């Protein structure tokens, strides 16, 4: 087997625009697992928002969540390794959010916490309501995001979205340059802010090393800028056809969009 680890981003990659997994992908990934490959989800999502996909793939591996902020064991229901955002830095981020009038979604502990229901929050809640009760992510609305952050045991990241992309870019620039935090773009109007040094590629490499393997053993699929750290360090990094041209130019190979069976076809060629 040329590649022994299959690393998969979710949104825009494994998932269709309807947040489903193509049956071809499910079948190919099941065959890869049966052949001995490790399949791991590497996502910007909170672990509470991965349940339906983790279960559909019948995985036994931990998930890399919030762009590498932590590694979560679904079967033991616990965090294995993590680099959360210190509370003092979270306070500073919230102060800047208030100053710039940008609303943020706080990913902490086992829930996603918000003060104002932005379009991103409403869309995600609508998706959650379509799921069985036991698979729904936990959303909590609070009167004060600052108070919620101060009470949290672990702060994974802030997910920010704004209709004015330029305003969001300016904000991310301030956070990066003044605070030195990691800003990962998961969509053109969504940026995630987490502790410095966190990335999908870094956490994936740590986990792969714990298996006695190297990144040369990894085939990785992604579609956005927050995926580049793993796509560029994997033995074979593959960008989806719906990715920006700038991303596709930086990886080894591009395939069809997330609405086409390119992931399955690639696995039959490179793994099975």
Look up the CATH number of the domain holding residue 213: 3.40.50.1000
150 in the same domain as 127:
yes
One domain for residues 165 and 119: yes
> 159, 177, 194 — which closes off a domain?
194
Neighbouring CB atoms inside 10 A of 82's CB total: 17
Shared-domain flag, residues 29 and 91: no
pLDDT in tens, 144-176: 999 999 999 999 999 988 888 888 888 888 898
Cα(103)–Cα(160) distance, integer angstroms: 7
* pLDDT at 186 exceeding the cut of 80: no
Same domain for 145 and 209, yes or no, is: no
Global pTM reads 0.94
Same domain, 24 and 67: yes
Range of the domain at 166: 87-194
CA distances 106 to 112, 149, 156, 160, Å, are 6, 8, 8, 9
**End of a domain among 171, 194, 217?**
194
Q: What is the length of the chain?
A: 272
pLDDT tens-digit readout, 254-272: 999 999 999 999 999 999 9
Catalytic residue selected from 9, 217, 223, 227: 9
Please state the domain count of the chain: 2
CB 164 within 8 A of CB 157: no
Q: Is the pLDDT of residue 31 over 90?
A: yes
113/64 same-domain check? no
Q: Find the range with the poorest average confidence among 6-20, 33-47, 58-72, 165-179.
A: 165-179
What is d(CA 200, CA 147) in angstroms, rounded to the nearest whole number? 29
Contact present, 215 and 232 (Cβ < 8 Å): no
83 in active site: no
């Amino acid at each position: 087997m040329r590649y022994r680890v299959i690393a998969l981003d979710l949104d825009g990659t494994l998932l269709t625009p309807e947040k489903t997994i193509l049956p071809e992908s499910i079948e190919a990934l099941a065959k890869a697992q049966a052949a001995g490959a490790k399949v791991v989800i590497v996502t910007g999502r909170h672990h509470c928002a991965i349940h339906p996909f983790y279960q559909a793939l019948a995985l036994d591996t931990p998930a890399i969540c919030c762009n590498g902020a932590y590694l979560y064991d679904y079967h033991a229901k616990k965090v294995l390794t993590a680099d959360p955002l210190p509370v003092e830095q979270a306070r500073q981020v919230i102060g800047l959010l208030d100053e710039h009038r940008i609303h943020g979604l706080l990913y902490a502990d086992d829930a996603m916490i918000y003060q104002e229901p932005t379009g991103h929050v409403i869309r995600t809640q609508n998706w959650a309501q379509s799921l069985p009760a036991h698979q729904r992510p936990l959303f909590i609305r609070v009167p004060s995001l600052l108070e919620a952050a101060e009470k949290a045991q672990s702060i994974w990241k802030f997910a920010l979205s704004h209709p004015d992309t330029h305003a969001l870019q300016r904000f991310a620039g301030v956070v990066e340059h003044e605070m030195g935090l990691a800003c990962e773009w998961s969509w053109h109007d969504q940026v995630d802010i987490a502790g410095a040094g966190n990335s999908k590629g870094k956490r994936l490499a740590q986990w792969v090393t714990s298996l006695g393997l190297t990144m040369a053993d990894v085939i990785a699929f992604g579609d956005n800028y927050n995926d580049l750290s793993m796509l560029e360090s994997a033995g074979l990094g593959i960008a989806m056809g719906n990715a920006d041209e700038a991303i596709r130019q930086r990886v080894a190979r591009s395939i069809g969009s997330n609405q086409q069976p390119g992931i399955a076809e690639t696995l039959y060629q490179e793994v099975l």
